[in-house]
Structure 1
Amino acid sequence: MTDSSLLNSELELQEQEELYQQLLLQTMGTMQAENPDSKLIRPQPGTCVKTVNEKDQQKVFINICQSTSVPPPPELSRDELVELLQSDDPSGYRVPMSLGEPHTETDNSSQGCTAYDVVINQEFFQKCQKDPLFQQFVIMVSVEGLENKYNLELSRDWKVLKNRKFLGSLSEQNIRTKSRPVIQELQPQETAAVNARRPEFTLLVEPPAGNPEYLIAEIKLPGVTSSRSLVLDVGEDRLVLTARPSLFHLDIFHPLLVDQETSVAQYNNSTQILTVTMPVVSS
């Protein structure tokens, strides 16, 4: 004789397991749909650069990593790179990269140090490995990016470690797979001239104490009479502003992650100050 209660119990367990699997798949799909424009990547080892933070003379290691998920920069020949480095505004050439959070490590002397992971396109990384000029250029861009994002002062007397591809452990990074639109395009974008000035600006957090809810940028733009001459682009950790015709150009990284889509900007014609209010999503 078969105990029907046992069969019913097994069927109930099977139905519950199937329901659980369905809910799990639905949850995973929802999580992916919540942020379809980004994904987690695990960077591959590349080059380790040793330098010093000028503020406290502490050793800093930069792990320049590689990934096929990071988009490549615009095509650039060696002659074009030489011309770019000799120009007044080498920052006009953008190298897409992901700048990771600092992590505490221990060097070969058992001394504490700080390491940062910078991820660039794999094909561009291989190109830099073959040409010392490109390698020095990508190190310079990485150093400047970290300085802007984390308020550092890194020594330019860096050293590439030949027998080490990275220091510490490489963590997964969340990168954007699709660029988001600017919060407001007030005029067709034009390239800023090399003689454009860097405006005075301040970054404030609200509330001043505790967890920040808003990052507020106040940018002084003397001589700008209308917001129609401004082009503003807010990224998750970056702000770019151009004032036509070639009056001001500002390109800064900030230490907080903000929500670009809900950020707002207001320009006061009387004070000639642009205020950008950006909701903070992570500090």
Structure 2
Amino acid sequence: MNQGNDFWTVYPIPGYVLKFKTATYNNSLTGKEPTKCFVNICHCKELPEPIDDIDEQQLAARIDAGDHSFRVPLSVGEIDVIKDNKKDNALKVDVIVNSTFYEKRLEPEEANFFRHYICMVVCDAIENKHKIELNPNDALKLQRPRIGVIEPMQIFKKPRKSEIISEVQPTKESTSKIGSITPETEAEETFDGYEQPKGVTMRWLRGELLEIRLELPATERIDSKESLLLKVKSDRLLLAAKKSHSLFDFHFPVLIDPSTTRTKLNLEMQQVTVCAKTILP
């Protein structure tokens, strides 16, 4: 755990995985896209417990009486794109709750009621944050502690007064991700005889994907993906800061298919990763 002045950077402990065979992702560019989604339910000790320590009978009684005041502090991570068992793309989101609450109310085998309640809360939180529509009644609990890579998150030491659900901002070490991201481990090749531009690292993965990592200049601190403008052609990349000038402008050593371009912004490391399929001669 790393500490800042107002926050902790935590490394979530895996708990269990929820699988949604059908999810609707409201993409601002392409509209609603049906897809599959996995949610890692994780926990950490830094996130506070619910104010009220109630069991499932007490919670059920409150709900039956129309009392929906019970709140569970949680943190929702960023969207990732992973490969499922069929090698198809699927969305993945990590969610954290308090460790004591998890061990007491979610981990026991018989805790089906609380797990379903948390599933409903998580579905609402993910829709509010990422515009992903999930039906809690379609959730399937998998017999595994996690799927994909669980990213560190940043949680505030003091909850925000305006929050109903204590949904805190993700860590800057987590990433703003759009579309497919390069798989965790790949066979890679470098480019002999090609001098890579300053701040640029390129890898050829599996002989079919070009991964480009861009180290943003220290003088151009980026706070969100909206601050950047990226243009990718079959042989060239241009990355500019919207309020200033061009940051990168260079040609690739191989041709790529621009329609397959996917990007990842790491705010903590101030890095942009671009991945696209190559066009072989």
TM-score by length of 1: 0.51
Q: What is the aligned partner in structure 1 of residue 82 from structure 2?
A: 105
Confirm whether residue 42 of structure 1 aligns to residue 20 of structure 2. no
Confirm whether residue 119 of structure 1 aligns to residue 96 of structure 2. yes
Once residues 144 and 87 of structure 1 are traced to their aligned partners in structure 2, the CA distance between those partners, rounded to angstroms, is: 21
| Structure 1 residue 149: Cα displacement | 1.4
Q: What is the aligned partner in structure 1 of residue 23 from structure 2?
A: 53
Once residues 177 and 252 of structure 1 are traced to their aligned partners in structure 2, the CA distance between those partners, rounded to angstroms, is: 11
Aligned pair count reads: 162
Q: What is the aligned partner in structure 2 of residue 154 from structure 1?
A: 134
Confirm whether residue 84 of structure 1 aligns to residue 74 of structure 2. no
Query: What is the 5 A alignment of 1:237-252?
Result: none
Confirm whether residue 172 of structure 1 aligns to residue 132 of structure 2. no
Once residues 129 and 70 of structure 2 are traced to their aligned partners in structure 1, the CA distance between those partners, rounded to angstroms, is: 18
Residues 1:255 and 1:68: Cα distance change in structure 2 (over 3 Å): closer
| Structure 1 residue 129: Cα displacement | 2.2
| Structure 1 residue 167: Cα displacement | 1.2
Instruction: Structure 1 unaligned segments of length 5 or more: list them.
Output: 1-30, 183-232, 241-250, 258-280
Residues 1:125 and 1:253: Cα distance change in structure 2 (over 3 Å): closer
Instruction: Structure 2 unaligned segments of length 5 or more: list them.
Output: 25-31, 172-222, 226-281
Instruction: String of CA shifts for 1:93-114, please: whole Å, max 9, x gaps.
Output: 1100110011111111110011
* CA RMSD, 1 decimal: 3.0
When you count helix as a share of all residues, which structure comes out higher?
1
Whether the 8 Å contact between 2:17 and 2:141 is mirrored in structure 1 is yes
Once residues 113 and 66 of structure 2 are traced to their aligned partners in structure 1, the CA distance between those partners, rounded to angstroms, is: 18
Instruction: String of CA shifts for 1:124-165, please: whole Å, max 9, x gaps.
Output: 112222211111111111111111112222123333333221
Q: What is the aligned partner in structure 1 of residue 196 from structure 2?
A: none
Once residues 72 and 92 of structure 2 are traced to their aligned partners in structure 1, the CA distance between those partners, rounded to angstroms, is: 20
Once residues 87 and 106 of structure 1 are traced to their aligned partners in structure 2, the CA distance between those partners, rounded to angstroms, is: 43
Confirm whether residue 72 of structure 1 aligns to residue 49 of structure 2. yes
Whether the 8 Å contact between 1:256 and 1:282 is mirrored in structure 2 is no
Once residues 84 and 147 of structure 1 are traced to their aligned partners in structure 2, the CA distance between those partners, rounded to angstroms, is: 24
Confirm whether residue 143 of structure 1 aligns to residue 123 of structure 2. yes
Once residues 140 and 95 of structure 1 are traced to their aligned partners in structure 2, the CA distance between those partners, rounded to angstroms, is: 11
Query: What is the 5 A alignment of 1:183-202?
Result: none
Residues 1:152 and 1:159: Cα distance change in structure 2 (over 3 Å): closer
Instruction: String of CA shifts for 1:204-227, please: whole Å, max 9, x gaps.
Output: xxxxxxxxxxxxxxxxxxxxxxxx
When you count strand as a share of all residues, which structure comes out higher?
2
